Chain A
């Protein structure tokens, strides 16, 4: 690139921008404007988040002393409770699965989650997960402050769906070194 050539270098002042600089300025303004545009979502009645243009609402919400959570509980033959790992309940990372569970519970499709988890657990023939005989999809309410001071029981818990884990004798999966399905 020859920046000594004033015709191509854009070596002009602000008063007479060359074509390249005009395009660059336009593209810059458009991108900055697009990134700042979601700011208005903060004042909308039903704000809508998107990607990659977001209004970044994730850390701004006010948390209540008692919060509700959707999750999956497994029961072994002795009736002991086990919190089922997220990877049994959906695809993707933890937050992705958490959102999927929330969405399905909201859409009254908790049965589908219970069925998926029961199917995946049924494939386990040894280890902790092989002892689970029943799964519940539940909505639990927790006092957050109490939880962090050792009182870990839910304030209340509502079962949304239940499903027995039916293991087939033909199942060939023997490895259970991993917690993941």
Chain B
């Protein structure tokens, strides 16, 4: 039970860079500003509609706002969205933006039509507005850190920036999953995937648009008789929706799901001419990606000596270590009192012909610093920690990434990375629990050749 709790805890509170959450704030905020600008005319016209058509939805209640008052509320929402995007006085403008965009979208939907495609704009807005999404890449952080290195704020890593991103991903996949359940619970059940329902939906949508004066979509007519194509589309979209939660299990699955679902929305646009702005711009899927890497691009382009930058991220004690020019270096921290870890390190030393790895024990000063940086207690010895390319990997991810760099056929083991992380880490935890029983700790340190010894941190 403890292992399950720990796995959930580690998953949900996995540290993330402040910059990633900051970029998400900018993207969602910029989308909101753009949407409010382009839809301004429609919003204001809708607010002037016959009050008898008003049926409050969501957090809106009571009677409609007076039409002459509404434009001021609308402008206020745009200003809040601008402040939120810039990260200015976020403690106040963040929550104000969250509530005002939610209210504005609810108000628009209170005039007969619910725009489901905007649900996640409101939900993502709430998450970003009420969390520390302006700790980096914001005017707040700029003002707070005047005189400090500009990169300092963006390089902060903490669970405080991790869980809001996890929550954004979880809510995104939840909405797709609910859509799939509605199809299963509907009158067609699993028969929905035959494609007939999808074709009928497209046809009815096209017909009613034409009856309301919109020009026909030639593509709808061209593909109407290709039922097998609708079957494929229906199966594909149902899989994307029903199995959406799988995207939370593994980073790569998240990428695959996000890209495919993004393409699904473009398919919907082509076939049905339905424009889901938040989905089509890809903003809805942004939380699945390590966005902060975008910030590294200019630095990578300008960088002349990659090894020099990699060295900078390593502890000072490793600075004097000889490394082949242009080859990046990684540090593997392990439990220095564990026989299995000791054997693993020797195994790596034998197969690491490019001398890519250096080693340190978790009990060493550098190891303790690394654990602290990851938010782990000093006595946490149940994981190896691999620091590579400025990022830290733990448990099975670390082990598999080490295998990737070894000589011979060992890199093939890296294929196991496609297994969802919780499963891999579950197997890893099983080995760790029994490691001292299975492999005895050596009484004395093994004698190593000098070329191996110099690869250990002091």
* A interface list, Cβ under 8 A from B: 1, 3-4, 6, 9-15, 17, 20-21, 24-25, 27-28, 31-32, 35-36, 38-39, 42-43, 49-63, 67, 69, 71, 83-87, 89-100, 102-104, 109, 112, 140, 142, 144-145, 147-148, 179
Contact = CB atoms under 8 A, between A and B. Distances in A.
Contacts of A43: 185
A39 B156 CA distance: 38
Contacts of A109: 52
B118 to A, nearest CB: 8
Given A21-B159, A99-B112, A144-B207, 13 more contacts: A14-B5, A14-B6, A24-B163, A28-B166, A35-B123, A35-B171, A51-B58, A57-B186, A59-B179, A62-B188, A71-B208, A87-B213, A148-B203
A15 B2 contact: yes
24 contacts: A3-B373, A9-B159, A10-B13, A10-B159, A21-B159, A27-B167, A28-B166, A28-B170, A32-B174, A38-B178, A42-B181, A42-B186, A51-B106, A51-B116, A54-B119, A60-B183, A62-B197, A71-B208, A86-B212, A86-B214, A91-B48, A92-B42, A144-B204, A144-B207
Contact of B113 (A52, A95, A147): A95
A96 B111 contact: yes
Contacts of B373: 3-4
A31 B167 contact: yes
A28 B182 contact: no
A49 B114 contact: yes
Contacts of B42: 91-93
A52 to B, nearest CB: 4
Interface in B162-202: 163, 166-167, 170-171, 174-175, 178-179, 181-183, 185-188, 192, 197-198, 200-201
A119 to B, nearest CB: 13
Contact of A13 (B9, B108, B118, B198): B9
B178 A56 contact: yes
Given A32-B174, A93-B42, A3 B158 contact: yes
B384 to A, nearest CB: 18
Given A13-B377, A56-B116, A60-B182, A31 B127 contact: yes
A25 B12 contact: yes
A84 B130 CA distance: 46
Contact of B116 (A15, A58, A69, A140): A58
B119 A6 contact: no
Contact of A15 (B5, B200, B375): B5
A145 B203 CA distance: 8
Interface residues of B, number: 85
Contacts of B114: 49-51, 54
Contacts of B116: 51, 54, 56, 58
Given A31-B171, A42-B181, A92-B113, A144 B119 contact: no
Contacts of B5: 14-15
Contacts of A14: 2, 5-6, 8-10
A4 B372 contact: yes
Interface of B: 2, 5-6, 8-10, 12-13, 15, 18, 42, 45-46, 48-50, 52-53, 57-58, 102, 105-106, 108-109, 111-116, 118-120, 122-123, 126-127, 130, 135, 156-160, 163, 166-167, 170-171, 174-175, 178-179, 181-183, 185-188, 192, 197-198, 200-201, 203-204, 207-214, 220-221, 224, 372-377
B175 A56 contact: yes
Contact of B207 (A53, A67, A90): A67
9 smallest A-B Cβ distances: which pairs?
A85-B213, A60-B186, A14-B9, A63-B200, A42-B185, A99-B112, A11-B375, A14-B5, A86-B212
Contacts of A25: 12
B136 to A, nearest CB: 10
Contacts of A57: 182, 186
B212 A85 contact: yes
B377 A6 contact: yes
Contacts of B224: 148
B372 A11 contact: yes
A36 B336 CA distance: 46
B209 to A, nearest CB: 7
A58 B159 CA distance: 37
B48 A63 contact: no
Contacts of A13: 6, 9, 377
A10 B119 CA distance: 32
A51, A85, A148: most-surrounded residue (chain B CB, <10 A): A51
Contacts of A99: 112-113
A35 B45 contact: no
A12 B15 CA distance: 13
Contacts of A98: 113, 208, 212
B226 to A, nearest CB: 12
Nearest to A73: B211
A52 B2 contact: no
Nearest to B188: A62
Contact of B188 (A27, A60, A148): A60
A63 B204 contact: yes
B181 A104 contact: no
A89 B49 CA distance: 11
A60 B192 contact: yes
Contacts of B208: 69, 71, 98
A69 B167 contact: no
Contacts of B163: 24, 28
A61 B196 CA distance: 12
A94 B214 contact: yes
Contacts of A85: 212-214
Contacts of A55: 178, 181-182
Contacts of A179: 213
